[in-house]
Amino acid sequence: MDMNMNINAEKLIYMADDEPHIKDLLKSFLEKENYEVQAFDNGDDLYKAFTMKKADLVILDIMMPGTDGLTVCNKIRQTSDVPIIILTARDSDADYVAGITLGSDDYFTKPFSPIHLVMRVKAIFRRIGMDKKAPSNQFLSYSDIEINLASKIVVNKSKNNEEIQLTPNEFNLLVYLMENQNRAVSRDELLDKIWGFSVDIETRVADDTVKRLRKKLSETNLIVDTVWGFGFRLREKEKE
Rounded distance between C-alpha atoms, residue 106 and residue 120, angstroms: 8
Q: Are 134 and 150 in contact (CB under 8 A)?
A: yes
Report pLDDT digits (tens) over 31-74: 999 999 999 999 999 999 999 999 999 999 988 899 988 899 98
User: What's the whole-model pTM score?
Assistant: 0.67
Beta strands in 25-125, from DSSP E residues, in sequence order: 36-40, 57-61, 84-88, 106-109
User: What does the angle CA 100 – CA 101 – CA 102 come to, to the nearest 5 degrees?
Assistant: 90
- Distances in whole angstroms, Cα of residue 204 to Cα of each of 3, 57, 98, 106, 123: 35, 22, 13, 11, 18
Architecture of domain 3-131: 3-Layer(aba) Sandwich (3.40)
What is the structure's pLDDT at 101?
66
Residues 6 or more apart whose Cβ sits within 8 Å of residue 72: 16, 43, 44, 46, 47, 60
Binned at pLDDT 50, 70 and 90, residue 75 comes out as very high
CB burial class (10 A; 0-12, 13-18, 19+) of residue 192? middle
Share of the chain above pLDDT 90, in %: 45
Taking the mean position of all CA atoms in its chain, how far away is CA 233? 21
Report pLDDT digits (tens) over 78-104: 888 888 998 887 665 666 566 666 667
- Distances in whole angstroms, Cα of residue 44 to Cα of each of 38, 171, 183: 14, 28, 45
Nearest to 226 by CA among 196, 202, 203: 203
What is the structure's pLDDT at 218?
92
What is the structure's pLDDT at 66?
92
Where does 139-236 sit in CATH, by number? 1.10.10.10
The two beta strands, 12-16 and 36-40, are parallel
Mean pLDDT (whole number) for 108-134: 78
Binned at pLDDT 50, 70 and 90, residue 199 comes out as low
For residue 20, pLDDT over 70 is answered with: yes
Count of beta carbons in the 10 Å neighbourhood of residue 78 = 9
37 beta partners: 13
For residue 114, pLDDT over 60 is answered with: yes
What is the structure's pLDDT at 2?
43
Binned at pLDDT 50, 70 and 90, residue 3 comes out as very low
Report pLDDT digits (tens) over 147-167: 998 888 999 999 999 999 888
Taking the mean position of all CA atoms in its chain, how far away is CA 227? 23
222 beta partners: 236
Mean pLDDT (whole number) for 219-234: 93
**Mean pLDDT, the chain, integer:** 84
What is the structure's pLDDT at 5?
45
Q: Are 15 and 27 in contact (CB under 8 A)?
A: yes
What is the structure's pLDDT at 16?
95
Share of the chain above pLDDT 70, in %: 82
Binned at pLDDT 50, 70 and 90, residue 1 comes out as very low
What is the structure's pLDDT at 203?
58
Report pLDDT digits (tens) over 207-219: 888 988 999 999 9
Q: Where are the domains of the chain?
A: 3-131, 139-236
